[in-house]
Amino acid sequence: MPRPARRFPIGAEPLADARGTHVRVWAPAHRRVEVACGQPPQRFEPLEPEGDGYFSGAVPGLRAGDRYAFRLDDEPKLLPDPASRFQPDGPHGASEVVSASAFAWAIDS
């Protein structure tokens, strides 16, 4: 299946069909990457290796406003997305999926 069009090279981007989120991360020192969905994690979704250290995949049911983190090589410690657009609990907490197209942008005058 072809990868969906993305705005950014890495990070979490909700899919246009609103059924999930496409996630892409660079983790060259690891053999396996999973997305931990929910806070606390309710399920783990594996990402597929692309080569050159990248892993990616569509995560069904992960939507804007949902929390997620990464599990690398079955390690117990979960890590935030280094390309996260929002860290509601600080830099070490779970990341939150953000839909840039749904954000209410404002310009200060």
Q: How far apart are CA 89 and CA 96, in angstroms?
A: 9
Chain segment 72-103, per-residue pLDDT in tens: 999 999 999 999 999 999 999 999 999 877 76
**What is the per-residue pLDDT for 17?**
79
Q: Are 69 and 77 in contact (CB under 8 A)?
A: no
Residue 30 has pLDDT above 60, yes or no: yes
CA distances 93 to 1, 79, 108, Å, are 32, 8, 30
**What is the per-residue pLDDT for 8?**
83
**What is the per-residue pLDDT for 10?**
95
Chain segment 58-72, per-residue pLDDT in tens: 999 999 999 999 999
- What is the token pair recorded at 52? 């050159």
Domains and CATH numbers, the chain: 11-96 (2.60.40.10)
pTM attached to this predicted model: 0.88
